[in-house]
Amino acid sequence: MKKILLGMILGIFISSTTLIFAAEVLKVTNNSFPILKDGTEVKLSAKNINGSTYLKLRDASTLLNIPITFENKKIYIGSMTPVADNEIKPFYIEKVKYVLFKDIEAQITRANITCELNESESTMIFSKNNTTVSTKYMLLMNNKYIIYDFYEKSIMPMLK
């Protein structure tokens, strides 16, 4: 009986120390780095966990002007409904509505609209038949964005 009890105690001791050593140690500190948006410092509650900075999802969505919805045990970033293949998803940057150029590029090609890029002036020139329109584009993270209003009023009529 003593051997069985000793074996049980030894087994519990060995398994409990294994669990203690297997647990990962998280080092959590308040973020000490300034957070800048478009060159302006913003005050956000951020944590540094094992060398990586984490923001609250709600704070990040407000900062980036992207809606976040929690519903039915799901987190929706952006719209709650998927964008159809033929729809163009607008992007809001600094409260201005834009369209991502690569999202409309296939439409432009199918409609035989030519597009010339002038990268030194950040402009795009669209031509079809005898109609030519141009606009400035914004380059953000290697993506070109054009103002949605321009797309709607100048490019969409050329698509028909």
* Residues 4-32: tens digit of each pLDDT: 655 556 566 666 555 455 567 888 898 88
97, pLDDT greater than 60? yes
Q: What is the pLDDT of residue 41?
A: 85
| 90-159 topology per CATH | Copper Amine Oxidase; Chain A, domain 1 (3.30.457)
Q: CA distances (Å), 147 to each of 43, 50, 65, 119, 144, in order?
A: 29, 40, 16, 17, 10
Per-residue pLDDT band for 78 (boundaries 50, 70, 90) equals confident
Each residue of 44-70: pLDDT tens digit?
888 888 888 888 887 887 777 777 777
Each domain of the chain, given as residue ranges in start order, spans 25-81, 90-159
Which pLDDT tens digit goes with each residue over 98-110? 998 988 988 899 8
Contact of 76 with 69, CB cutoff 8 Å = yes
